[in-house]
Chains A and B, each alone.
Chain A
Amino acid sequence: EVQLVESGGGLVQPGGSLRLSCAASGFTFSSYWMHWVRQAPGKGLVWVSRINSDGSSTTYADSVKGRFTISRDNAKNTLYLQMSSLRAEDTAVYYCARGGYDFLARIGGFFDDWGQGILVTVSS
């Protein structure tokens, strides 16, 4: 069974930093792209970032570019999101999600498993 368990969330002041972790199990972590997706309270889903399977390539949403860094440790089966210069608008539940792949269409970019999410609150 695929399990993704986020940790590291909490309350942080504007301008502060926080590192989220996502512990993966039940699948070969090193074979999958991984993503972070967030959801502000009462709002919809917003993609944040992705990393390829060996960690050599990363992509970010414009809203977090230059402030957030995605990384992974395949030896520890763990995904990370380092967040800095945090703003009130970064307040959200952050989900780690496994990247899905459509072998027929030869394209990825959807999310076939999700963690339970972790709340990050940016407030003074």
Chain B
Amino acid sequence: EIVMTQSPATLSVSPGERATLSCRASQSVSSNVAWYQQKPGQAPRLLIYGASTRATGIPARFSGSGSGTEFTLTISSLQSEDFAVYYCQQYNNWPPLTFGGGTKVEIK
């Protein structure tokens, strides 16, 4: 099973600042990583797939990068609606499909 490890667990950022979230895979997953955003009481929403392709309707301030075992989600200028928990997920080698433990982006 591929283990996905996200860091940090919590990220405190001021509105308008840049946020950088990291995700590491226990073995290479090529570029087959997706990122999701989840707000309290809501379902997750797909942001990024293929490590860097934005899903339909996702604002350009969200960008993804990386390949192999190291991946990054960057939010260029945090808006109030971006404070949430973010999960990475690998789909290169499954079953099982596996998620990281999440990074909570909170207001500083």
Measuring CB to CB, which residues of chain A are less than 8 angstroms from any residue of chain B? Answer: 35, 44-47, 50, 59-62, 95, 100, 102, 104-105, 107-117
CB distance from A22 to the nearest CB of B (A): 12
> Which residues of chain B have C-beta atoms less than 8 A from A44's C-beta?
87, 99-102
Whether the pair A109, B43 counts as a contact (CB closer than 8 A) is no
> Which residues of chain A have C-beta atoms less than 8 A from B101's C-beta?
44
**CB nearest neighbor in B for A113:** B46
State whether the Cβ of B55 lies closer than 8 Å to any Cβ in chain A: yes
> Which residues of chain B have C-beta atoms less than 8 A from A46's C-beta?
99
State whether the Cβ of B28 lies closer than 8 Å to any Cβ in chain A: no
Whether the pair A102, B95 counts as a contact (CB closer than 8 A) is no
- Majority SS of interface residues in chain A? strand
Residue of A95, A100, A105 ringed by the most chain B CB atoms within 10 A: A105
Whether the pair B43, A114 counts as a contact (CB closer than 8 A) is yes
**CB nearest neighbor in A for B90:** A109
Measuring CB to CB, which residues of chain B are less than 8 angstroms from any residue of chain A? Answer: 31-32, 34, 36, 38, 42-46, 49-50, 53, 55, 87, 89, 91-92, 94-102
> Which residues of chain B have C-beta atoms less than 8 A from A107's C-beta?
32, 91-92
Inter-chain CA distance A44–B99, complex, in Å, is: 8
What 11 new A-B contacts, CB under 8 Å, besides A100-B34, A110-B34? A44-B101, A47-B98, A47-B99, A50-B97, A60-B95, A107-B32, A107-B91, A107-B92, A109-B91, A110-B91, A111-B36
Inter-chain CA distance A60–B94, complex, in Å, is: 10
Whether the pair B31, A62 counts as a contact (CB closer than 8 A) is no
CB distance from B89 to the nearest CB of A (A): 6
Inter-chain CA distance A35–B44, complex, in Å, is: 14
Inter-chain CA distance A107–B93, complex, in Å, is: 11
Whether the pair B46, A108 counts as a contact (CB closer than 8 A) is no
> Which residues of chain A have C-beta atoms less than 8 A from B91's C-beta?
107-110
> Which residues of chain A have C-beta atoms less than 8 A from B96's C-beta?
47, 61-62
Whether the pair A102, B50 counts as a contact (CB closer than 8 A) is yes
- Closest 7 interchain pairs by CB? A109-B91, A110-B34, A114-B43, A47-B97, A45-B99, A59-B95, A110-B49
**CB nearest neighbor in B for A6:** B43
Q: 5 A-B pairs, CB-CB below 8 angstroms? A: A47-B95, A47-B97, A62-B96, A105-B50, A111-B36
